[in-house]
Structure 1
Amino acid sequence: MKVLDRKVLRDAWALRGQVLTIALLVGAGVAVLVMSVSSFLSLRAAQRAFYAESRFADVFAEVKRTPRALLARIAEIPGVALAEARVGGEARIDWPGAEVPVAGRVLSLPAGGGQPELNRLRLLAGRLPEPTRHDEAVIHAAFAEAWGVRPGDEIAAVLNGRRERFRIAGIAHSPEFVFTSRPGNPLPDDRGFVVLWLGEEAAARAFDMRGAFNELALTLAPGGSEAAVVAELDLLLRPWGGRGAHGRRDQPSHRFLEDELAEQRTLAVTVPLVFFGIAAFLLNVVLGRMVEAQREQVAALKALGYPSFPIAAHYAKFVAVICLLGSALGIAAGAWMGAGMLGNYRPFFRFPEMPYLLPAWLPLLGAAASFAVALLGVLAALLRILRLPAAEGLRPPRPASFGGAGLGAWGRRVGARAKIPLRGLLGRPLRTALTVLGIALAVPMVVLGLFWWDAMDSMVELQFDRIERGDAFVALTDPRPSRAVREMARLPGVLAAEGQRIVPVRLRAAQRSRLLAVTGLPEDAELRVPRDAALRPVPIPPQGLALSRRLAERLGVREGDMVQVEVLEGARRVHDLPVAALVEDIIGFSALMEIGALNRLMREDDLVSHVALRVDPAAAQALWALLAERPRVAATSVKAVWLRVFDEVIAGLVLTSAVTLTGFGVIIAVGVVYNSARVALQERGWEMASLRVLGFTRQEVARILLAELAVAALVAVPLGLVLARWIVGLILGARDNESFDVPPAISAATFATAALVVLGAAFASAVAVRRRIDRLDLVAALKARD
């Protein structure tokens, strides 16, 4: 082993405490990188494999009713590789044990039996329905798992107002329902929503679709244009009540999955950069001060004939040792956390298989990234080695200037003991500023872990307390006259009822368009109250649209601009309407109108399609049972159930994030404070020993050094709180998620907890350094250089 290589090992052992804390910081960055990228790759691989195996469609379309003979013309559209028609409809499931009626979706399978050409099912148990059996169904695996359904069990469903019973023939996964949720609820609700697949004859009979279809799935030929196919398909289906074709991006399950994958990409880029940046800062400080402390050794090596480059490479090896240790810890922790995160995703995304993938290049990338960033951080110190002349290095370094004038008026007001830490802080302003910044960066990590609780609480309060103020939301099988609202208002337990009209539309502004639904609300609505950015109620405009702010940004419009509204029901008329107001929405995108204006736009009577209810809690269960018996009620969504599902699904993810990021914040705080204190002790060991010889006690000497760290920590925490708000806003601004709008809400309790965690970590580091001061070797420290 070469002399310089042995020196690397000796230095690493002598500075083992600092090496370990910096290695933990490097490991934290590598762990987040490995965790985020591996979980992203695992999700993406599961998605691609399942989509390819099941031949997931590229384009989807719904229509009121179309003869099957039209399918041949659809298949001839340029760019279409394969087109498949089916029958689909909504259902209400009577399931024993469910506190509210279960919402259902029914889809048909090919008439001759067997798998469809597109969106094929992956059977987990049982078989597909026999072509001659109209009372058999395949059930989605999520609902079957939640309720313990097995092949041979029976299920009762209300289809198109008629109650029918089916025997479960099989249990399956579907690429269309990787993420399953009932309409209007963006959370997976495995106990409250189910998908059933019936034979074509059974589905056609239930929805009066013999010889016809109302849903369509297509794949594109190589080089086919999705936009051109969608436009041609819309034109062809318009006379038959087409409701707007759309690409895979607007398919609900796929959109939610893509949003989550985008979140993982953001996490994989932003958070590791923070850790690597702090580790680079610490390495710069430690190595820079190590070089300064060893300048005589460096100069002696140069005087003996060693070139500058091998000496610089020696210190680069020291960095490599730290990065190697940190990378080993980070790769192991990242793989463990990535597998755990993938396990947390399994209730969200129902893939037949979702194996955890850790490609060989990912650990190498993590190690290489950490080493590259670390080398960048110590570049200045390495350049100083290369430029240091031997003669200059053999002379003692010039002492730092700590003139009393540097303290200004403070110098005459404070005692001698207070001047020492003040001179240490003010005499090295750059070093002090970097120490403060390093400690400050620990605060955002803790805040990032804890603020999700505040964000979830803020989302629930805004969406479910301030905007959606009803207790239940009833969907009707088809639009009904407004007297249906008065009928529901008279039901036992109903305190208030408001009708809504929801109409599917396509909004266009210049070259941008969105498929969504316009919701018509009464002008004096109380059970759904739109609000602006300041959470003030926004009156329903008598004319024009009120758009959610995020939707307006996607369309590139502002208040007062015109948007084109293509109605996807009835005669499919096209209207130009002004954007009359902008509102806030947490879940999805929304477009609102006054219900009378919407019905006039549709040239229809006073109709409602949904009813919001405020309910007496004591009579709620009886009311849900009563609504379940009404054939015109398609589904009932209950706010209390939403919130319980929200807590059950989100709590685990938030807790994992909070614990992980808080732990990383502690690592940062300990790493910065401990290293700053150890380096300060190394630099000022002669001063500390001199004070001991002059009669100062261990406690008094420690107080002088630790006072500098205490001041730095107390200054850093408020700065860290400001940085935390900025970093949270930056990360949320980088999100591209249409499913949820997470507000940058951070409570005072979160700020206080983050501050206490960082101060506690700093205190623990100070205790460790205090023990070092107590064991200070006075004889060795007082040896002066000639």
Structure 2
Amino acid sequence: MVSVLDRKLLRDLWALRGQVLTIALLVAVGVAVLVMSVSSFLSLRGAQEAFYAESRFPDVFAKVKRAPRTLLAQIAEIPGVAVVEGRAGGEARVDWPGAEVPVAGRVLSLPTSEEKLALNRLRLIAGRLPEATRHDEAMIHAAFAEAWQVRPGDEIAVILNGRRERFRIAGIAHSPEFVFTSRPGSPLPDDRGFLVLWANEEAVARAFDMQGAFGEVVLTLAPGASEPAVIAELDRLLLPWGGTGAYGRRDQPSHRFLEDDLAEQRTMAVTVPLVFFGIAAFLLNVVLGRMVEAQREQVAALKALGYPSFQIAIHYAKFVAVICLLGSSLGIAVGAWRGVGMLENYRPFFRFPDMPYLLPAWLPLLAAAASFAVAMIGIFAALRRILRLPAAEGLRPAPPAAFGGRVLGGVGRRLAARTKIPLRGLLGRPLRTVLTVLGIALAVPMVVLGLFWWDALDSMVELQFDRIERGDAFVALTDPRPSRAVREMTLLPGVLAAEGQRIVPVRIRAAQRSHLLALTGLSAGAELRVPRDADLRSVPIPQEGLALSRRLAERLGVRAGDTVQVEVLEGARRVHDLPVAALVEDIIGFTALIEIGALNRLMREDDLVSHVALRVDPLAAEALWQRLAERPRVAAINVKAVWLRVFDEVIAGLVLTSAVALTGSGVIIAVGVVYNSARVALQERGWELASLRVLGFTRREVSRILLAELALAVLVAMPLGLVLAQWFVGLILGARDNESYDVPAVISTATFATAALVVLGSALASAVVVRRRIDRLDLIAALKAGD
């Protein structure tokens, strides 16, 4: 049998269905963002861990110019080393018809049988392994195969060490070493412009003159082994053979980018849902608290009829439970749907053979329980105040807010009634007004959090590709060449300007901190790469010392004027102590710059360059790329236009999914806050408004009184919301820890204006709904409710 309180519950749910729905949407927003963010992060992390474990991804990597395979036995005896594997390999160029720029490639040796591949095991997804006796067969990475619709049996031409070789594709595979694939010198994945190819060991060794030798070594560590100790001993063994410095998994390019993005996802999975959920919880608290306050007389009537406080509290707990159940169910469904969408956007970014969507049972339960808990806190705070009142006092309407000379002085006595009434509603209950204004203000940053990513991306592109990297192309040479190579490129048709650069791998140390990166030598007065400071002013290349990126300096704990140790991981592996002469800004990766002449002197080399930046005539660009591809000393060509296209295709698609989800959530919060504020105000002021109608006020005048109160709250909330938006964006970006790229806290005027218009539009729509309800106000029922 349905009890009286349960019947009241059903009536309340129906009578307040508009508010119930919008409050449920507030709950749904918080739950959906939490489920979407956390589940997509857990799915990516789960795919990574499963693939790494299955394929036995190494812990330590090292390159060497050429070392005998007999050295592998000594490496295996290093304390802490579990499994060692040596291989041959090198950079290559791919002759691929239809490519807009020459395709860069990396070729690695493959043991003659799958059993011999102890580490970096490949996941075959099509075809088969190359036959042991066939030196013209190879396997290629799945990313390139998918981008170009390559199938087993197709042929591919590759330039290896200056010689053209043709391979028949036997199989297509995924590799843990190339989850994130990018061409040399490019910070973005480019499946169409970069190929990883595995061929039989003998064929690769012959191409790179590695018979009986290896050029790379990978290894795993035994449990409890010290990675720094193993790396130090490995460097000692490889140094006589041209070792360029061993490094751990953290510095492996694919893993580093993946870990940076996972760290980004982890931060976002905590901060963004926390912000959204916290704001939704606060608004839920405010709205439900005011709703209970509006039912003050009903609660007092129940007490007068003999209902104990506990039963009344349970009644409202059921009311909240129904709302939270509706909101949580919708939020879990939408969050899971958007989580799948987020994961799909990551598939072309990170190449895992399997990327199942993971939604652990504890996540929706946690989200639902949290929403119910915060809702109960809000409703019982208000309910407790009412239940403590004697029934006789509670049955009387709440006393009007104190308002008069004490608030506005003599001005208050000169105000008209239609102006004084909304001011009394706002200033007479300052705590409620502050909470309402804060609730409306918090709707603004919710919209901004979804939109500002476009501003950040535009700022990143402008700074990195317009102000810093001012060339049109970046040519990598197979080995350092005399500077006359720059003059030779200047003479090519279509080249408007050319500048040489010298890039060497280094490890920079400061006290106990160190970082592995490329040290770039630039000529004084370079125009095709211009370092910038925090104010975007050009920074001259220091004649003595280094210019470090601000983020790298922070990571190393140094400032301008401090000294760092630079270990060159090429040639004689010399170590130098150099001052930090300047700090510069960067967006992608960490930057270390030095004057090119000073770098060559440190290397004790002649005037050499390893890369050339070009400014190109757009009309002659296509012919120029083809001409450069035919040069045997050109290892790779990176074109800015291709970078920007990949940036738009990959990054923009990823941001779009997140931006749409967050913006939609912000709009829902804005509508929910403003609409509920207006509806609760109408519920609280129904008796007053009906009285005014009886006294002769028109519907328009009565509506203007109530809506003026809402309008004033919105106008006060807007500037506060804009300030909070900037603060929230800075808070979230400040929690990031990402070496691969830096997202600036840039919010455009258009984004601020859009967020403000969304909230104002929500207020206008709510005003229309409330105005219609005022027009349909039952005067007799409203007046009786106040008796």
Letter in 1 for 2:337: W
Partner residue, 2:658: 657
Q: 1:261, CA displacement in angstroms?
A: 1.7
Q: 1:236, CA displacement in angstroms?
A: 1.9
Q: Which moved more, 1:592-601 or 1:241-250?
A: 241-250
Evaluate the alpha carbon distance shift between residue 115 and residue 98 of structure 1 in structure 2; reply closer, same or farther with a 3 A threshold: farther
Deviation by residue 1:285-304 (Cα, 9 ceiling, x = unmatched): 33333433333443444455
d(CA) in 2 for partners of 1:677, 1:36 = 32
Tell me whether 1:44 sits opposite 2:58 in the alignment: no
d(CA) in 2 for partners of 1:215, 1:684 = 78
Tell me whether 1:724 sits opposite 2:725 in the alignment: yes
d(CA) in 2 for partners of 1:303, 1:696 = 35
Partner residue, 1:231: 232
Tell me whether 1:201 sits opposite 2:205 in the alignment: no
d(CA) in 2 for partners of 1:394, 1:761 = 35
Q: 1:707, CA displacement in angstroms?
A: 1.1
Evaluate the alpha carbon distance shift between residue 153 and residue 340 of structure 1 in structure 2; reply closer, same or farther with a 3 A threshold: same
Partner residue, 1:322: 323
Q: Match of 1:782, SS? A: helix
d(CA) in 2 for partners of 1:385, 1:58 = 63
TM-score normalized by the length of structure 2:
0.97
Partner residue, 2:594: 593
Q: 1:282, CA displacement in angstroms?
A: 3.2
Partner residue, 1:89: 90
Q: 1:252, CA displacement in angstroms?
A: 1.4
Q: Match of 2:784, SS? A: coil
d(CA) in 2 for partners of 1:294, 1:632 = 82
Deviation by residue 1:727-785 (Cα, 9 ceiling, x = unmatched): 11111111111111011111111111111111111111111111111110100111165
Partner residue, 1:26: 27
Q: 1:542, CA displacement in angstroms?
A: 0.6
Q: 1:52, CA displacement in angstroms?
A: 1.1
Q: 1:93, CA displacement in angstroms?
A: 0.8
Q: Which moved more, 1:489-498 or 1:427-436?
A: 427-436
Letter in 2 for 1:648: E
Letter in 2 for 1:267: M
Q: Match of 1:4, SS? A: helix
Q: Is the 8 A contact 2:506 2:566 kept in 1?
A: yes
Evaluate the alpha carbon distance shift between residue 50 and residue 720 of structure 1 in structure 2; reply closer, same or farther with a 3 A threshold: same
Q: Which moved more, 1:53-62 or 1:582-591?
A: 53-62
Tell me whether 1:149 sits opposite 2:147 in the alignment: no
Partner residue, 1:485: 486
d(CA) in 2 for partners of 1:230, 1:11 = 69
Pairing of 1:121-270 with structure 2 (within 5 A): 121-270=122-271
Q: 1:642, CA displacement in angstroms?
A: 0.7
Evaluate the alpha carbon distance shift between residue 82 and residue 769 of structure 1 in structure 2; reply closer, same or farther with a 3 A threshold: same
Q: Match of 1:517, SS? A: strand
Q: Which moved more, 1:130-139 or 1:604-613?
A: 130-139
Letter in 2 for 1:505: V
Q: Is the 8 A contact 1:89 1:106 kept in 2?
A: yes
Q: Match of 2:39, SS? A: helix
Q: Is the 8 A contact 1:115 1:121 kept in 2?
A: no
Q: 1:407, CA displacement in angstroms?
A: 2.4
Q: Is the 8 A contact 2:440 2:673 kept in 1?
A: yes
Q: Which moved more, 1:302-311 or 1:183-192?
A: 302-311
d(CA) in 1 for partners of 2:284, 2:382 = 10
Q: Match of 1:260, SS? A: helix
Deviation by residue 1:525-584 (Cα, 9 ceiling, x = unmatched): 111000000000000001111101111111111111111111111110111111111000
Deviation by residue 1:600-620 (Cα, 9 ceiling, x = unmatched): 001111110000001111111
Deviation by residue 1:623-673 (Cα, 9 ceiling, x = unmatched): 101001000000000111111111111222222223222211111111111
Q: Which moved more, 1:544-553 or 1:44-53?
A: 44-53
d(CA) in 2 for partners of 1:21, 1:179 = 42
Identical pairs, percent: 85
Q: Is the 8 A contact 2:405 2:411 kept in 1?
A: no
Pairing of 1:592-631 with structure 2 (within 5 A): 592-631=593-632
Evaluate the alpha carbon distance shift between residue 309 and residue 133 of structure 1 in structure 2; reply closer, same or farther with a 3 A threshold: same
d(CA) in 2 for partners of 1:603, 1:764 = 73
Partner residue, 2:518: 517
Letter in 2 for 1:234: D
d(CA) in 1 for partners of 2:204, 2:715 = 69
Q: Match of 2:681, SS? A: helix
d(CA) in 1 for partners of 2:648, 2:786 = 65
Partner residue, 1:696: 697
Pairing of 1:330-479 with structure 2 (within 5 A): 330-385=331-386, 387-411=388-412, 414-479=415-480
Q: 1:421, CA displacement in angstroms?
A: 1.5
Q: Which moved more, 1:6-15 or 1:720-729?
A: 6-15
Q: 1:385, CA displacement in angstroms?
A: 4.4
Q: Which moved more, 1:502-511 or 1:270-279?
A: 270-279
Pairing of 1:743-758 with structure 2 (within 5 A): 743-758=744-759
d(CA) in 1 for partners of 2:77, 2:374 = 56
Partner residue, 2:505: 504
Q: Which moved more, 1:38-47 or 1:263-272?
A: 263-272
Q: Match of 2:732, SS? A: helix
d(CA) in 2 for partners of 1:26, 1:619 = 58
d(CA) in 2 for partners of 1:396, 1:382 = 16
Q: Is the 8 A contact 1:276 1:373 kept in 2?
A: no
Q: Match of 1:476, SS? A: strand
Partner residue, 1:54: 55
Partner residue, 1:277: 278
d(CA) in 1 for partners of 2:615, 2:582 = 27
Gaps of 5+ in 1: none
Q: Which moved more, 1:388-397 or 1:653-662?
A: 388-397
Q: Match of 2:696, SS? A: coil
Q: Is the 8 A contact 1:485 1:611 kept in 2?
A: yes
TM-score normalized by the length of structure 1:
0.97
Deviation by residue 1:465-507 (Cα, 9 ceiling, x = unmatched): 1000000000000001111111111111111111000000111
Q: Which moved more, 1:420-429 or 1:748-757?
A: 420-429
Evaluate the alpha carbon distance shift between residue 394 and residue 768 of structure 1 in structure 2; reply closer, same or farther with a 3 A threshold: closer
Q: 1:38, CA displacement in angstroms?
A: 1.2
d(CA) in 1 for partners of 2:94, 2:254 = 21
Letter in 1 for 2:164: R
d(CA) in 1 for partners of 2:118, 2:156 = 27
In the TM superposition, structure 1's runs of 4+ consecutive aligned residues that sit over 6 Å from their partners are: none
Q: Is the 8 A contact 1:114 1:128 kept in 2?
A: no
Letter in 1 for 2:28: G
State how many pairs are aligned.
Answer: 786
Q: Match of 1:436, SS? A: helix
Q: Is the 8 A contact 2:35 2:364 kept in 1?
A: yes
Gaps of 5+ in 2: none
Evaluate the alpha carbon distance shift between residue 692 and residue 385 of structure 1 in structure 2; reply closer, same or farther with a 3 A threshold: closer
Deviation by residue 1:405-435 (Cα, 9 ceiling, x = unmatched): 4223543564332222222222222212211
RMSD over equivalenced CA pairs, Å: 1.6
Q: Match of 1:56, SS? A: coil
Q: 1:173, CA displacement in angstroms?
A: 0.5
Partner residue, 1:77: 78
Letter in 2 for 1:544: G
Partner residue, 1:309: 310
Q: 1:244, CA displacement in angstroms?
A: 1.5
Q: Which moved more, 1:389-398 or 1:551-560?
A: 389-398
Q: Match of 2:259, SS? A: helix
Q: Is the 8 A contact 1:63 1:242 kept in 2?
A: yes
d(CA) in 1 for partners of 2:398, 2:687 = 14
Q: Is the 8 A contact 1:566 1:574 kept in 2?
A: yes
Partner residue, 1:687: 688
Evaluate the alpha carbon distance shift between residue 338 and residue 490 of structure 1 in structure 2; reply closer, same or farther with a 3 A threshold: same
Q: Is the 8 A contact 1:161 1:631 kept in 2?
A: yes
Q: Is the 8 A contact 1:113 1:199 kept in 2?
A: no
Deviation by residue 1:374-420 (Cα, 9 ceiling, x = unmatched): 22333422432453344543454333222244223543564332222
